[in-house]
Amino acid sequence: MSTKRKSDTTAGAATKKARSSETIKKFQSARMTVEEVLADKSDFPVPDGEDEVRKTTVELVEYIKHLEGEVNAATAAAKPVQKTKEQIETAAERVRTAARSGIRKQMSWKPTCKEGRAKWAYDGVCPDPLVFASVMNIEGPPKFKTKKVPKDEFGELIGDLEVEVRYDTLVITGTDVNVRWNPETGEFKFSGTYGRLRGL
């Protein structure tokens, strides 16, 4: 099986190389014309007769169209695929689930829970701004780098953040949850405090 795959790869590379060689030959005259013009813009060779002028013009136009095709293909390959609304929401739900799990794991009993000032922080990465916007329930790519979200609103965004411990329940405390967002890297951070539900 591996021998066949290697053979297929070799054949594909050979075919691609042959096509590239054909393309070079096809546009060799046009490339030479371009080089001659650029080398001496004020005194480059001019074709003799109408037929030669037409031939050179056609070669240059075909070469230009070929280059345009290569640029368009490269641009299309580099352009990220636009997600559908369903795909964005699915990806956002994965971010929420991971954040919810990460935050809850940090909510263990500590003496500072009595005063509701035990700290938690969750770091994550979400490269797609539209997905993070969906996580935060806002329209369009986030325009903020730091933001405070009311803790009750944050709970609605992320989901259940109550953790049962012996004789009590731990919940997010304070007034707000801090949100940091780096649009260049997609890194984000949620942070806040938690404590005893009965102590609130």
Mean pLDDT of 1-14: 52
pLDDT band at 92 (very low <50, low <70, confident <90, very high): very high
Asked if 102 and 50 sit in the same domain, the reply is no
Q: Please identify, among 78, 102, 125, the residue that sits at the C-terminal boundary of a domain.
A: 78
Task: Answer with the residue of higher pLDDT: 19 or 82.
Answer: 82
Asked if 100 and 146 sit in the same domain, the reply is yes
Asked if 108 and 25 sit in the same domain, the reply is no
In this prediction the pTM is 0.60
Neighbour count for residue 41 (Cβ, 10 Å): 8
**Tokens representing residue 183 in the block:** 């649009």
pLDDT at 12 over 60: no
Q: Which of 198, 199, 200, 181 is nearest to 189 (CA)?
A: 181
Give the total number of structural domains in the chain: 2
133-162 pLDDT per residue, tens? 999 999 989 999 999 999 999 999 999 999
Task: Answer with the residue of higher pLDDT: 51 or 129.
Answer: 129
**Tokens representing residue 78 in the block:** 């580099």
Q: Please identify, among 20, 46, 78, the residue that sits at the C-terminal boundary of a domain.
A: 78
Asked if 74 and 95 sit in the same domain, the reply is no
What pLDDT, on a 0 to 100 scale, did the predictor assign at position 20? 63
Asked if 61 and 6 sit in the same domain, the reply is yes
Neighbour count for residue 130 (Cβ, 10 Å): 19
pLDDT at 74 over 90: no
Mean pLDDT of 63-70: 82
Asked if 98 and 156 sit in the same domain, the reply is yes
Q: According to DSSP H, which parts of 27-166 are helical? A: 28-39, 49-78, 85-106, 129-135, 151-158
> How far is it, in rounded angstroms, from Cα 89 to Cα 70?
35
Asked if 10 and 105 sit in the same domain, the reply is no
**Does residue 132 contact residue 184 with C-beta atoms inside 8 Å?**
no
Q: Which of 149, 129, 147 is nearest to 139 (CA)?
A: 129
Please give the share of the chain, as a percent, with pLDDT higher than 70.
Answer: 86
> How far is it, in rounded angstroms, from Cα 25 to Cα 48?
23
Asked if 112 and 22 sit in the same domain, the reply is no
Asked if 8 and 55 sit in the same domain, the reply is yes
Asked if 191 and 106 sit in the same domain, the reply is yes
For β-strands 187-196 and 118-125, DSSP reports them as antiparallel
Asked if 105 and 53 sit in the same domain, the reply is no
What pLDDT, on a 0 to 100 scale, did the predictor assign at position 194? 96
21-62 pLDDT per residue, tens? 677 777 788 788 888 777 877 877 888 888 888 888 888 888
Asked if 90 and 148 sit in the same domain, the reply is yes
pLDDT at 186 over 70: yes
Neighbour count for residue 49 (Cβ, 10 Å): 8
Mean pLDDT of 172-200: 92
1-5, 71-75, 95-99 — most confident range? 95-99
SS3 168: strand
Mean residue pLDDT across the chain: 85
Q: 12 is in which domain, residue-wise? A: 2-78
